[in-house]
Amino acid sequence: MPLPAATLTALRQFWQLHRHPELLFPNRHGGLKAAQCAKSPLDRSGVQTTLRWVAQWMEK
């Protein structure tokens, strides 16, 4: 499924914050620094919260 350009840009910028080698949405329990070595993904509500945060951040 193609992504809108704004969504792709937001996801790329979010990935720049954590740069996990395997997970697009790593479990961030412990903050972004902990996300770099997370072994599990965020749960569904965590992904939704993250995308909402990124969307609001992109508006600024």
Q: What is the pLDDT of residues 15-42, one digit of tens each?
A: 787 777 777 777 766 565 556 666 777 6
Share of the chain above pLDDT 90, in %: 0
At 60 the pLDDT is 67
What's the CA gap between 30 and 54, in Å, rounded?
19
pLDDT of residue 22: 78
State if pTM tops 0.85.
no
Domain hosting residue 39, numbered range = 5-59
Question: Total structural domains in the chain?
Answer: 1
pLDDT, the chain, mean? 75
- Residues with Cβ within 8 Å of residue 58, at least 6 apart in sequence: 6, 9, 10, 13
